[in-house]
Amino acid sequence: MTSETKRDMRDAGRQGLRAFAGLLALFVLAHPSLLSAQQAGATSQTAQNTPTWSLMPGSGQTADPTTDTSDTVTAATDGVAPTTDATTTGTVAPGSQAAEPLIDPDAIPLDEDIGRQNLRETRLDDPTADRIRRDARETEDDSGIRLGSLILRPSISQSVGSETEKTGGVKDDRTFSETGTKGTLTSDWSRHELTVGAEGIWQETLSGDDTDKPRADIDARLRLDLADDTIATISGSYSFSREDSDDPNAVSGAKVQSGVNEFGGGVSVERDFGLIRGSIAADVTRYQYSDAELSDGSTLERSDRNRNRYALSSRLGYEISPALTPFIEGTIGKIDYDDAVDSAGYRRSADLYGAKTGVAVDLGEKLRGEVAVGYEHQKFEDGRLEELSALTVDGNIFWSPREGTTIDVTLDTSIDPSTTAGINGATIHRFTGVLAHDLRNNLVARLTGGTTFTNYDGDASSSDTTAYLAGAGLTWKINRYLDATADVTYERTHYKSGTDNDSLTALVGLTAKR
């Protein structure tokens, strides 16, 4: 081999080494970016019609997109656009540079409930959920007229009614117009609370027997939130009603019975001592009677029934849980008549004593109220009148078994002094219940039922009566300002010695509210 030939072979070797080194450098520089591009293309499923080139790891050469290999992308054939398998990714050879992670480790984790259709339900008695629902309702309720820091919600109703009353073989019918007003005034203060409620009904007989039955009620309460879990409440009330003709104290044969005016006022202070709750209250109630109008046009004075009732009561309760608090309560007081001696010559002023025990329940919107049993005793100044004692059952329970359905039950026991000579009075037990159900979001149905037992002592027991009440009604909320109402009520009074009385009343009307 000549020296010239050897020189040519060395030059060719150097050129081959340079070419190999350049190709190796190109592969090292291009491999990471091409691999990342291949992975991104497989994830996003690129729909471009241009062929996609991929680099064969470790080969140092590029592959033709029309080549059918397992590590390359299939090119378009016969005019069909190329597709990419979404599950296919580029293969990374061992020791090659790894791709960057797709998820930031510092990112906030996703909520596991996202995308679920059957999310976990909140418990019905969850206090947080109750508060949210309550706040939402209060926000949506923008009714009323704002008067500074007070909100007035008035309403007025107009109804037409028909009444049929039957006593023995005597039947009386009448048609009447009934106008009613109702309103509440509520404070919007950060502390303390003032609530005033008023309702009045006036009847006008259009045809038939003229026995109008007007009534009115006003109740006001001011709650003062004092320091150290102490609450003071100042209350006042007024009510008016016409005495029923079937009442034992009513004037027989009167054209218009006496009107009963009842005034009330009181103050109470309640304080929590840990699990022990204590309260003391003082109340004054005045009963005032107007004259009765007789059938011959004359009047009969009834002022000898006017009296005041003073009472001082104290309650002590123990909180077993926030929802259950048993208590005991004691009351002392006096009944003082304006006239020391009534028209029959009896001194009816009396001292009164009472005690009861019960339990208060507070389960929020589902169930709340209290029930108590006890004993009440009255001792008259006149020794000819026997002492009057009664077993008392009092309470009020508000229950909502399901959304849109409420049951309101009231139990009440009272002692009604008599004006009949020689009779001390009667014990009256009342039970009333009201069931309301939302048939639709703008249609409410009501069922009402009740019973009243009036029991006299001794020889006067022949005057005992039992009254039954049943009623049904519908309220259609036409819009937020107007309601249509329809009610029917049946009452029956059974006398232990006497003729029973039946009454059927039907009413339809409209109520405008703000």
* 326: CATH: 2.40.170
Domain C-terminal end among 71, 102, 133: 102
Domain C-terminal end among 102, 126, 161: 102
- Among the ranges given (22-31, 242-251, 416-425, 467-476), the one the predictor scored with the smallest mean pLDDT: 22-31
Rounded distance between C-alpha atoms, residue 432 and residue 397, angstroms: 11
The answer to whether residues 45 and 168 belong to one domain is no
Rounded distance between C-alpha atoms, residue 290 and residue 292, angstroms: 7
Long-range Cβ contacts of 189-194 (<8 Å, 24+ apart)? 189/149, 191/225, 192/222, 192/223, 192/224, 192/225, 193/221, 193/222, 193/223, 194/150, 194/220, 194/221, 194/222, 194/223
**Taking residues 88-107, what's their average pLDDT?**
42
* Count of the separate structural domains present in the chain: 2
In a domain? residue 338: yes
In a domain? residue 111: no
In a domain? residue 259: yes
What mean pLDDT is reported for the chain?
78
Rounded distance between C-alpha atoms, residue 435 and residue 446, angstroms: 6
The fraction of the chain above a pLDDT of 90, given in percent, is 51
Q: Which domain holds residue 5?
A: 1-102
- Rg, the chain, Cα only: 44
Per-residue pLDDT reduced to its tens digit, 256-288: 888 999 999 999 999 998 899 999 999 999 999
Whether 367 and 387 have beta carbons less than 8 Å apart is answered as: no
In a domain? residue 108: no
The answer to whether residues 291 and 386 belong to one domain is yes
The answer to whether residues 246 and 327 belong to one domain is yes
Rounded distance between C-alpha atoms, residue 432 and residue 94, angstroms: 86
In a domain? residue 145: no
In a domain? residue 121: no
The answer to whether residues 195 and 91 belong to one domain is no
Residue 146, beta-bridge partner list: 151
Tokens for 136, please give them: 């939402």
Q: Report which of residues 458 and 47 the model is more confident about.
A: 458
Question: Of the candidates 399, 402, 412, 406, which has an alpha carbon nearest to the alpha carbon of residue 372?
Answer: 412
Residue 484 confidence class, pLDDT cut points 50, 70, 90: very high
Domain C-terminal end among 67, 102, 137: 102
Residue 481 confidence class, pLDDT cut points 50, 70, 90: very high
**Taking residues 119-141, what's their average pLDDT?**
36
The answer to whether residues 217 and 72 belong to one domain is no
Decide if pLDDT at 247 tops 90.
Answer: no
The answer to whether residues 321 and 449 belong to one domain is yes
The answer to whether residues 213 and 73 belong to one domain is no
Predicted pLDDT at 20:
52
The answer to whether residues 58 and 195 belong to one domain is no
In a domain? residue 110: no
**Taking residues 117-142, what's their average pLDDT?**
37
Predicted pLDDT at 14:
57
